[in-house]
Structure 1
Amino acid sequence: MTPGSGVLESGEHAEPDMSGATSGPVSRLVELHREGGLFNAIRGANDYVRDHTPIPVTLPLHRIVSTGTLSVGAVAVDIHITSDEDLWRAMGHGEDAVLDDFVGRVRPNDTVWDVGANIGSYSLLAAATGASVIAFEPGSSARQRLQRNAEGNGLSLSIRPVGLGLSDANGSAALSTEVRSGIRHISEAGEQVPVARGEDVDLPGADIIKIDVEGHERQVLDGLGDRLEACRCCYVEIHGGVSRDAVEKRLENAGLEVADEWGETRREAIVRADGGGA
């Protein structure tokens, strides 16, 4: 199976008989089914509907499937599906190459800080590799889904969800209200959540840090202090409106060297910076 591919479980679904299809969109569905099974065909149908309707239409795929299996190399974890966003994350959410790199660098007995953990795709993969994970997720709904996913994979003892946002100051902040939990961000209004500097939290330091905080990247990095300097590597997703140069400069000032990057075709860029122990 290719890195980041998803395999879906959907109760009782008979395999569709597509042997008579010969042309057009049905023929394409046959091809997709042969290449990747029912999951691949469902995804193709959704893309076709999106691209060939005059108004935005999305098939409610989360009502068709209940569990997605996110597979990266030899590591596989199940993600409970309650929304199309969950389904997208079970498919690797467009970060197949990053996930592959991440899993390849996590070592058994590592401590991983997942900052902006959301429903836990990175946390689950790290824990399944043998690491202990501290999953910072201030959003209550996403954190509950993360806990459910940890329990469903038998990883509750390896993943510690923390209802705290990391920043450059200690106190509280507003987390924006969004339909998709993955795009919630620190804003002027929203759910009040506690925030803290990473260097001030009473938690074990990290060997690997992953940061995905929807525009709050520099504040998180500024608050990490010597926790950043001590890590083996740090992944940062840099969102639109955030200076990539400033983020990379902050990493370099902590003694890390930007070693890889992804995002040539994405609105966001993801960089990995390695420390001396990489």
Structure 2
Amino acid sequence: MTEEQAAPEAASPELEKLQAQVRRYKRNLRKAEAEGFLAGILAMLKPGDLVLDCGANVGKISTQMARTGAQVLAYEPDPYAFAQLSEACAGLENVTLHNAAVGASGGKIRLMRAQNFAENPAAASVKSTIIGGGRMIEESDGIEVDLIDFPALLRQLTADGREIALIKMDIEGAELDILEALEEQGLFERVRCLIVETHERKFKDLRPRYRELRARVMAGPYAQRVFLDWI
């Protein structure tokens, strides 16, 4: 077989267009499924329930949580997004805001931002992360932010036997360490429902750990409590 014969044939413009349409359809389907799942969970919340929004960004989900009457604790480390979050939640007495990141340990940590943050902070703030090695992130500088030990926080909030009704977690890669810690420390049982966006697409080196964690969770006793396909 000659080199010319072995070379793969380039996709036609029509095929590329069809493939793009299929990708968009699949993304929209996943988005609809995730949003439908969240809507169902929110419909079951009631005043007095305790819910956490980790990676609250500008408050889209925090405000939906607040409308159920539940007590909302929202965590957002990026100062730009936190300012928008504060404005969105102004006057909501059942919402407590924390300008901090959450992780598997506590202290101070560097928050890195997307490379286009200066040009478009509104769109770029959703990509701010405390995890190095991700795509499209400027790692040469950053800002120091508070880091909350999330497993310790969860133990504190449930020390009196109270259950966390809902945790939504969208924290740009930091979720992996937290989920592994919650699993190891037996803390999944303290949460009624945990919905998470995982970011293995952005962190290639972490993909084996993501796959192993997903397999363990889905095969374990908490598979019905943990939704790992939030978008």
TM-score of Structure 1 vs Structure 2, range by shorter chain: 0.5 to 0.7
The answer on 1:173 being equivalent to 2:94 is no
1:208 aligns with one of 143, 158, 166: 166
The answer on 1:235 being equivalent to 2:195 is yes
1:107 aligns with one of 31, 43, 46: 46
Distance 1:96 1:232 in 2: 18
* Structure whose residues are more often helix by fraction: 2
2:127 aligns with one of 183, 208, 215: 183
Aligned partner of residue 160 in structure 1, secondary structure = strand
Letter in 2 for 1:123: S
- Please identify, of 198-207 and 136-145, the stretch whose mean Cα deviation from structure 2 is larger: 198-207
Aligned partner of residue 196 in structure 1, secondary structure = strand
Q: Which runs of 5+ in 2 are unaligned?
A: 1-30, 118-123, 133-138, 159-163
Task: Please say if residues 75 and 102 of structure 2, whose CA atoms lie closer than 8 Å, have aligned partners that are also in contact.
Answer: yes
Q: Match for residue 176 of structure 2?
A: 218
Aligned partner of residue 46 in structure 2, secondary structure = coil
Q: 1:168 to 1:97 in 2, by over 3 A?
A: same
- Deviations, residues 51-75 of structure 1 (Å, cap 9, x unaligned): xxxxxxxxxxxxxxxxxxxxxxxxx
How far off its partner does 1:175 sit? 1.1
1:194 aligns with one of 135, 143, 146: 146
Cα RMSD over matched residues?
2.9
Task: Please say if residues 114 and 133 of structure 1, whose CA atoms lie closer than 8 Å, have aligned partners that are also in contact.
Answer: yes
How far off its partner does 1:255 sit? 4.2
Q: Match for residue 163 of structure 1?
A: 99
Distance 1:140 1:238 in 2: 23
Aligned partner of residue 176 in structure 1, secondary structure = strand
| Percent sequence identity over aligned pairs | 25
TM-score, normalising length from structure 2? Answer: 0.63
How far off its partner does 1:260 sit? 8.1
Q: 1:259 to 1:120 in 2, by over 3 A?
A: same
Alignment of 1:115-126 (within 5 A): 115-126=54-65
Distance 1:227 1:160 in 2: 23
Task: Please say if residues 137 and 162 of structure 1, whose CA atoms lie closer than 8 Å, have aligned partners that are also in contact.
Answer: yes
TM-score, normalising length from structure 1? Answer: 0.53
Q: Match for residue 11 of structure 1?
A: none
Task: Please say if residues 172 and 193 of structure 1, whose CA atoms lie closer than 8 Å, have aligned partners that are also in contact.
Answer: yes
The count of residues paired between Structure 1 and Structure 2 equals 170
Q: Match for residue 27 of structure 1?
A: none
Distance 2:109 2:86 in 1: 23
Distance 1:196 1:127 in 2: 22
Relative contact order: is structure 1 or structure 2 higher (C-alpha 8 Å, sep ≥ 6)?
2
- Deviations, residues 194-218 of structure 1 (Å, cap 9, x unaligned): 2132122386342211110112211
Q: Which runs of 5+ in 1 are unaligned?
A: 1-92, 263-268, 272-278
* Structure whose residues are more often strand by fraction: 1
